[in-house]
Structure 1
Amino acid sequence: MGLTKVTNSPGLSIHLDNPRPVYCPGDVISGQVSLHTAAECAIGTVALSFWGRAKTKIIQQNGQSASVYRGRTRYFSVDHTLYTGQYTHKPGSFGWPFELTVPGQADPRCILSGHKWKPKDHFRTNVVDTPGDLDLTLPPTTFNSRHQARKVDCFVEYVLEASLTEPQDAHRFRGPKTKTSTLPVTFQPLPSPEPIRSFDLAPDGPPRLVTISTLKLLPEHAGTNLGLRDRARSLFQRDSIPRFSFRLSVRAPTTIQSSHPAPLPFILGVEPDLDDPNTTTVVGASSSPVVTLRSFKVDLKTHVRCRAVATYADDKTYEVSLLNLKNLDQRLLPPDSTATKTFSNSISSSSTSPNTIDLGSLYDLRVGGATLGSRLESPLCPNFTSYNVSREYFLVWEIEVECAEKTQKFSSTKHGTPCEVLLPPATARMDGYDDDNTTSNNINLGVALESCRISTGENHANTSRGQVDGRKRSSEKEKPGFFTSGGDKTRHDHKTKAQEAAEEHDGYDHRDQQHQGPDSNTSVDRNNTRGAPEVYNRGQPPPQYVP
């Protein structure tokens, strides 16, 4: 079991017109199925299929034996017959053009004809009373794999498949043979036309009450080393030690959009607790202690779940580091007027306190092409649920504050704040393409992100397959794998756009252009230029995303 790769039977291949790295619902895929033969060839039918599916495989080791659990869901299958005949053709080149539209939802007949998926948390079910109760949303292309004590593979893929079958009576003693070629494409849901305006901030648990008890809260002991008598007093006369309490609250985003032009808001509130004499004995503006932020860490936790038949399931968690700052010296109390901000209702419904600070804006907290392990996933795959594969995100954070030379660490709730990750907006700009081409030809952010994905490699993938023009790069094998932990230590030297364009041109195979003649199955002689294959000109430099 594995992802479908680009495979070409001898002489049979699929070529796309203006191929894109990412296709969305409603996009038109056009191209031709090409056949090049040096001998006479009997052609009965030429067909093209476009299908999408999700597959899971879980291998449980039981000593020296192993149990294999599988799950499969086919979302749709669109079939087109491009040619039908009973003739033997002379050697030459043949082309059959095609054009199809990417469906916007799954086919209920395909969903109901596959495995029966019972209701379960985090997954869909196809055990329904009527087909109208099915969730027909198509999930994005994705791949996850883990090969440890328990081996797990799960993926969602969308594939173009061309087949050429011999006539029924071509041979007397055997049936007709079939040649098959496959070309996977990357599918993603439609992105939002504009960047989102609300990040849907929500409190991450109740406010944390912090109480600091030390003689260093007093001005005369601030910044000094306590003597033996003072330390003994702190141990045996705790009621006489000054105390200061404050409440720390966090409002984190529950909706995140990759490559959003604005940083993620992360609201940190610090309120002194001056009303309760049992918690605070240090009162007065002149002696108000200073609370300082020392470290700030934010991770986006990805939870991928899969299941197979017999209700066997597995899951895997990844963490995407968004920000990890240490040795900070940001004052929280008394409030710093240069860092304290007030927000409108579009971002925060209640942030009018002067002791509220937006750490996201202060430290430029963003989600773009985030590093999952040692590779780049661009963009982050959005949340989705399907019948046997699902993916969700949680925002986890850790904060360290200091008051009177005493530090306290705080973290998010046990699993973090559930959040929804969205694809980059369709209006995001790309380096290497002008605004007209970006909007008129439906070239969206995926073009730039696919270039980034190819440059970093596709050996280990928690993302969609790296492919641009329907063919693999020369001298490059496609080996989908698993993101290992650790950062990418590879050094990439900066190159000019001219050098990148030259490498982009040399690194790809030349391709055949669609034959535009009126007869779609006309044989083309090798020495005849009519309908001969032409080379695509990739003159533009590889795009890079610019937020």
Structure 2
Amino acid sequence: MSVGTLHAKVVLDDPSRIHCGNRDPVTGHINLRYAPGHGNASAELFGPLQVYVTLHGRAKTKIWKSNGQSTSIYRGRAPLFHQKALVYDDSFRAHPRDSTNFPFSLFFPEVAYAQVTDDFDEDPRYISQSSQRLPPSFQSSYHGFAHRYEAFVEYRVGVDVVMPRLDVHVNKPGEYEEPVIHYEGPRTTQLADRRPYDWRGSVSVRNELLLPEADRPQGFRQKTKALFGAGNFPTYAFDWVCLAPKDLYLGQPACFEIRIKARENECTATLIPEVRLQYFHVEIEAHTDVRADRTLFRCPESEGNYTVFEAAGAIDNTGPFSKANENTKIVNTQALGSGRIGGFSSSFATYNISHSYSARIKFGFELTGKVKEVDKEYGVIVHPPLEFAQPPAVAEAGPSVAGPSSLPPDAGGKAPDLPPYEPLPAYEATPSGKN
């Protein structure tokens, strides 16, 4: 007959903390509470006790495919690692309803080392070797035409309790009751040494506002002719270049530089107009590819695109381009991950999930009452946070555009420069109980 039950519970010191890399410990304690068995209300528990803590991670996908008449569900399972640590191995004594805590400190591994058990096709979008970089915590759910997917990367802490030679029932958290640990890659010690994208273009305007004020059309007839371009008006033209970063860092603003230079051989205007950068808008879109275990012929796949960051850039000054500012404007966004749409992880790939990003920028030059718009989209890599936060280049964000935290990474036990982490949704179990 059982002498009672040990109720085991995992308690994290900071459940909301995002742990960066394998040097940022996961700390907490195992709480054990003893409940005596039936008929042994006052009996104490005494004997050898072993308490183990497990830290494990996995990447998982679930894909729905519909042909209009029926829907099939496919799953992709990719274990990342599973490690077990002994936190207590000694004699143990407990009175009824006693509660005892056993502290622990765990570290993530540098790389994933679990062997994937499912069969996946070779594909350059995904990583097939077992020693892949440990991916960040991640979740995505997408509904598209005739297809749908759910995907996540999660890390959990579990507990095992053993009392050799004693008939003690252990009540411990099940797989989906274990607390989730939020993980991001190791902090980046230095900026990537890659040249920014260098986009170039030109703008040309020809209208009456380039004439001296005394020579501009007067009266209804002349203004109507000017409206339809019937007048012989001078031209002003300029070249522009936009330097856009290829590498972005969580918790840091994205910085852009825009320069202009007059095209003297095409300018016939004696009146040089003011050229202003009227606005600058940045949108970052995530692209997620997912796949499931190989079927008879192939690995079922799905994909989704969705916006994770959207913000107006803060321009260093509101004045026109001029010699005083070397005909250059510096634009900073707010800190990445603090946008109004939500936080996001760094770029990564696993056996069954590939997660990448693109940036879309829109900006407009204003001159002679007209706005010339530029719209560009390009691929970027999102990196983990920097070891030490970098200040914005020149542009200073206004009150509604928050920059990166100036606190050190471990101030108050928090990581303030990281995006907020959304809790993982409950994952639907399969009818067979295998998930």
Q: TM-score range by the shorter chain?
A: 0.7 to 0.9
Report what 1:366 is aligned to.
334
State the partner residue of 2:398: none
Residue 184 of structure 1 deviates from its aligned partner by 1.7
Find the partner of 2:271 among 287, 292, 295. 287
Contact in 1 for aligned 2:365/2:372 (Cα 8 Å): yes
| Runs of 5+ unmatched residues, structure 1 | 1-8, 127-133, 341-353, 454-462, 466-477, 482-547
- Contact kept, 8 Å, 1:49 with 1:161, in 2: the verdict is yes
- One-letter amino acid of the counterpart of residue 318, structure 1: T
Distance in 2 (alpha carbons) for counterparts of 1:223 and 1:229: 9
Equivalenced residues, count: 389
Mapping of residues 513-524 of structure 1, within 5 Å: none
Q: Does 1:242 align with 2:245?
A: no
Is the counterpart of residue 393 in structure 1 residue 357 in structure 2?
yes
**Does 1:101 find its partner at 2:98?**
no
Please say if 1:219 is aligned against 2:212: yes
Q: Is residue 33 from structure 1 mapped to residue 40 from structure 2 by the alignment? A: no
How far off its partner does 1:268 sit?
A: 1.2
Match of residue 40 from structure 2: none
- Deviation of 1:390 (Å): 2.7
Q: What CA distance in whole angstroms lies between the structure 2 residues aligned with 1:236 and 1:418?
A: 40
Aligned amino acid, residue 101 of structure 1 = F
Give yes or no for contact 1:44–1:84 (8 Å, CA) kept in 2.
yes
State how 1:301-380 maps to structure 2 within 5 Å. Answer: 301-309=285-293, 310-323=299-312, 330-332=319-321, 335=322, 337=324, 340=325, 354-355=326-327, 357-360=328-331, 364-373=332-341, 376-377=342-343, 380=344
Bigger mean CA deviation after superposition, 179-188 or 219-228: 219-228
- 1:297 and 2:281 correspond: yes
Report the secondary structure of 1:287's partner residue.
coil
CA 1:329/1:82 → structure 2, altered by over 3 Å: closer, same or farther? closer
1:364-390 Cα offsets, whole Å, 9 max, x none, are: 5332442252xx42xx42222222223
TM-score normalised by the chain length of structure 2: 0.73
Q: State whether residues 311 and 334 of structure 2, in contact with CA within 8 Å, keep that contact through their aligned partners in structure 1.
A: yes
| Root-mean-square deviation (Å) | 4.2
Taking the aligned partners of 1:198 and 1:225, their CA distance within structure 2 comes to: 57
Q: Deviations over 1:163-211 (max 9, x none)?
A: 347879969xxxx9874351221112221346x497843213xx22222
Q: Which amino acid aligns with 1:202?
A: Y
1:423 aligns with 2:384: yes
Kept in 1: contact 2:385–2:417 (CA 8 A): no
In structure 1, the residue matched to 2:41 is none
**Percent identity between the aligned chains?**
19
For 1:246-261, what aligned pairs fall within 5 Å after superposition? Answer: 246-260=238-252
Q: Distance in 2 between the 1:359 and 1:99 partners?
A: 44
Residue 374 of structure 2 is matched in structure 1 by 410
Contact 1:15 1:34 in 2 (8 A): yes
Cα distance, 1:316 vs. partner?
2.4
- Which residue of the partner structure matches residue 495 of structure 1? none
Q: Please give the per-residue CA displacement for 1:412-465, whole angstroms capped at 9, x wherever unaligned.
A: 1xxx23223233333359xxx998xx68xx668844368x84xxxxxxxxx454
Distance 1:311 1:359 in 2: 45
Q: Are 1:426 and 1:444, in contact at CA under 8 Å, matched by a contact in 2?
A: no
Shift of residue 76, structure 1, vs aligned partner: 0.7
Q: Measured at CA, do residues 12 and 211 of structure 1 come closer, stay the same or move farther in structure 2, by a change above 3 Å?
A: same
Q: How does 1:56-95 map to 2 (within 5 A)?
A: 56-63=61-68, 65-80=70-85, 91=96, 92-93=98-99
- Describe the SS at the equivalent of 2:416: helix
Secondary structure, counterpart of 1:102 in structure 2 = coil
Q: Does 1:381 align with 2:345?
A: yes
| 1:231-289 Cα shifts (integer Å, max 9, x gaps) | 44775867x443332222211122223444xx6432112222222xxxx3515xx4223
How high is the TM-score relative to the length of structure 1?
0.60
What does residue range 11-22 of structure 1 map to in structure 2 within 5 Å? 11-16=7-12, 21-22=17-18
Unpaired segments of 5 or more residues in structure 2?
38-44, 294-298, 391-404, 428-435
The 1:365–1:98 alpha-carbon spacing in structure 2 relative to 1, beyond 3 Å, is: closer
Q: Where is the helix percentage greater, Structure 1 or Structure 2? A: 1
Taking the aligned partners of 2:138 and 2:60, their CA distance within structure 1 comes to 11
Q: How far did residue 121 of structure 1 move?
A: 4.3
Q: Is 1:161 equivalent to 2:125 in the alignment?
A: no
Aligned partner of 2:82: which letter? Answer: S
